[in-house]
Structure 1
């Protein structure tokens, strides 16, 4: 990296000044595991069943296993980067270290899209859920209320936020296990396989196309687990705790995803679950009926899965905004840390403003025949997939150019694991563009406008304090 020398040559008042850990290091292994699983677990509750509508249950199993393999190999590879460069910027920091400012911009912008656009989709789901329980409550107002509550919780302190995240994540996992246990007596494999190939009993060309079209819904099972990287500066011992959190986190999620999908599909007529936002309660109705106490428990506790992901992603987007601002890629005032709580309060609020604006932008965001939530989710997935590709390229580049870098955790079966993750992500991106062309254009426009800002703010990056976490 040449950041420090560039700054000294600039002769700015910031030249030679080096930033160190500005965030408070308080997170342990259990808390990081809670963040890893909590970031993702709402994907076990809704969204994935839409994959059945296009691929059928059996076709979607293949798609889900392919995506699970992509995420597993990606996380094992990504952990090498996270432990080698424990930085709040996560992918932004790795790409910047490997490819310089332009690479940092691309990874940072992609990650920002993923983590800023995912929360409004989940907030809308929270609002819709609360509207069912309280019909007089406007879903959008409830979604905005969720933002206000959990932004405040994140500002108060990362220790409190992480403890809450662990608590709701454990409750969400408990509920998924209860669901599988309750529907188990009615489990029939014939229910799952009937019409399992896109409505047919045998494999067809339509099922093949459906498997590719279903990729975004399989990604929703695991989207955002990489957000633990953004908490690396707040981990007590990131070189030890992050690998444990990542590996156990992805294994937990793979087991839960397969279990939930199979048990739901085998409970009854899966075709009635394929295009709804609450497949688990509806699947449980097949076994216990609509008025069972189990049903009421599942509906109420279902909120915890949504809250866990929503709360965790707020933590992720705020650290990404903070890191980008600290490095001069965003306005400097976004990098200020609260003097008492030692949290990036301005970054938390800034991401919330964007998310709340998205919630109330129906006509602007609803295009291409898709719902507001669907377009927001798709935009988030585009950011994620691009970031995965750039991160794996950074891993290969750093292995070649910096073979002596300290690597507390090395990607197993290198180069095969990262290569598989890279190829799978590239296939997913191509598929996403093909089936979501309008959203892809909007995503490309966003990146282009961001790049213009990047070119116009070169001086801002030159006078930014040198980042010790990237220099060391």
Structure 2
């Protein structure tokens, strides 16, 4: 990203509460769907173990990541941190991994939007609803109409309220016996199969928290980022941990949890077990739940377009993707490119079946591969910058250093190893995408792009 003093600067208007809303809003859809696929792998008790381990990883990660975000409050986010620590190759790994995370998360959310609307309108095809969601929100981004931070905050608060309503409505029918029944990978006995399931369920526990780090892309728009960002990140991760555990436990205790383990709308279906098909509570959950999905969907589309734009401008992707629309002043080709990939992903099950898993589960896993690689290189960048730039201004210092970032790094590596083991074909596809992107970068990276990279590193 250029540091030209004549370049218009982003206006700093976001306070801690708005940033908290962005951090939680990017993730909140993960509380509504996606995670229940972990039950199919590990059962309720096994997945609870997985979720607690991943929650510990994310808590340690966010406390450590906040040091990077406040020290280098740059809209490039992980791309900028890794570049500063490791140069062009490090920047590529972090930037492209983040791109995969943000490009593959929206199709999964779009499929959930389709599933939620299908509850109200059974004749609707969820896939075509997902495509419609892409067209609507890409169009809004293309013409420059984005959800303002205040609206993002409002829909996030509505989504949190709805999750609390869900827990309250199903609580009278909650049963511990329902939750623990066959809770170890379909068995009442803890065994080697249960251990295997705990590791296989990792991507779906990560989905609970995926994309919270995307709030770093708003760092240049934050008022007093060195103060507001730590409050937003820490408040955000604590909010999400409480909601994730609460939603999972109450849904699992509502009835036969196995009926919820391979679907995109576990919360409405869990509520049906308690209040029936025609309850007003159920309809409210569906409609307000859409706000949470839309908040994440729209926010992540904005995120992938900025990531594509930034990587193209720095010479990591075709330069045409860094083009700004002359009228709307938006990165239109970046928005469209990410949307094309997402829509193709929605229909990819008609081309190839991967591991016998549902389509959404595979899309979630691909997104998580990108996220976990980015987490690893971000924590490595933290350690590297502590040594290479000991005098760097660090308004927020990672607590319990080096233990907290080491815990985050170690658990992230463990998650990556387990994901590769249990998702070998998807791992190869992910690796192929990373290698193809790197090959393009090596062939096209020129002196002008290198000069731009130097400016980025010093920003």
- What TM-score do the two structures reach when normalised by structure 1? 0.90
Task: From 239, 252, 267, give the equivalent of 1:265.
Answer: 252
Return the alpha-carbon distance in structure 2 between the equivalents of residues 236 and 342 of structure 1. Answer: 24
**Which region of structure 1 is more displaced relative to structure 2, 394-403 or 145-154?**
145-154
Return the alpha-carbon distance in structure 2 between the equivalents of residues 405 and 56 of structure 1. Answer: 46
2:177 is aligned to 190
2:311 is aligned to 324
Structure 2 vs 1, CA of residues 329 and 25 (structure 1 numbering), >3 Å: closer, same or farther? Answer: farther
Map Cα deviations across residues 164-206 of structure 1 (whole Å, 9 max, x no partner): 3222211111110001111122222232223222233332221
1:38 is aligned to 25
1:365 to partner: Cα distance: 5.0
**1:148-167 mapped onto 2 (5 Å cutoff):** 148-155=135-142, 160-167=147-154
Task: From 371, 378, 381, give the equivalent of 1:391.
Answer: 378
Structure 2 vs 1, CA of residues 366 and 199 (structure 1 numbering), >3 Å: closer, same or farther? Answer: closer
Q: Secondary structure at the match of 2:446?
A: helix
Pairing 1:91–2:72 present: no
Structure 2 vs 1, CA of residues 92 and 208 (structure 1 numbering), >3 Å: closer, same or farther? Answer: same
| Structure 2: stretches of 5+ with no match in the other structure | none
1:53 to partner: Cα distance: 2.3
Structure 2 vs 1, CA of residues 338 and 245 (structure 1 numbering), >3 Å: closer, same or farther? Answer: farther
Structure 2 vs 1, CA of residues 300 and 107 (structure 1 numbering), >3 Å: closer, same or farther? Answer: same
Task: From 288, 295, 298, give the equivalent of 2:285.
Answer: 298
Pairing 1:279–2:262 present: no
**Which region of structure 1 is more displaced relative to structure 2, 74-83 or 147-156?**
147-156
| Structure 1: stretches of 5+ with no match in the other structure | 5-15
Pairing 1:169–2:156 present: yes
Return the alpha-carbon distance in structure 2 between the equivalents of residues 458 and 230 of structure 1. Answer: 24
Matched-pair contact (CA < 8 Å) for 1:120–1:355? yes
Matched-pair contact (CA < 8 Å) for 1:154–1:161? no
Matched-pair contact (CA < 8 Å) for 1:191–1:269? yes
Task: From 357, 378, 399, give the equivalent of 1:370.
Answer: 357
Q: Secondary structure at the match of 2:38?
A: helix
Return the alpha-carbon distance in structure 1 between the equivalents of residues 329 and 222 of structure 2. Answer: 14
1:86 to partner: Cα distance: 1.5
Structure 2 vs 1, CA of residues 21 and 437 (structure 1 numbering), >3 Å: closer, same or farther? Answer: farther
2:435 is aligned to 448
Pairing 1:414–2:414 present: no
1:8 is aligned to none
Structure 2 vs 1, CA of residues 245 and 21 (structure 1 numbering), >3 Å: closer, same or farther? Answer: farther
Structure 2 vs 1, CA of residues 93 and 21 (structure 1 numbering), >3 Å: closer, same or farther? Answer: farther
Task: From 234, 237, 244, give the equivalent of 2:221.
Answer: 234
1:108 to partner: Cα distance: 0.8
Aligned residues: 459
2:35 is aligned to 48
Task: From 192, 202, 218, give the equivalent of 1:205.
Answer: 192
Q: Secondary structure at the match of 1:452?
A: helix
Q: Secondary structure at the match of 1:236?
A: coil
Map Cα deviations across residues 126-164 of structure 1 (whole Å, 9 max, x no partner): 123334433454433322221222223335558743333
Structure 2 vs 1, CA of residues 19 and 372 (structure 1 numbering), >3 Å: closer, same or farther? Answer: farther
Return the alpha-carbon distance in structure 1 between the equivalents of residues 23 and 128 of structure 2. Answer: 28
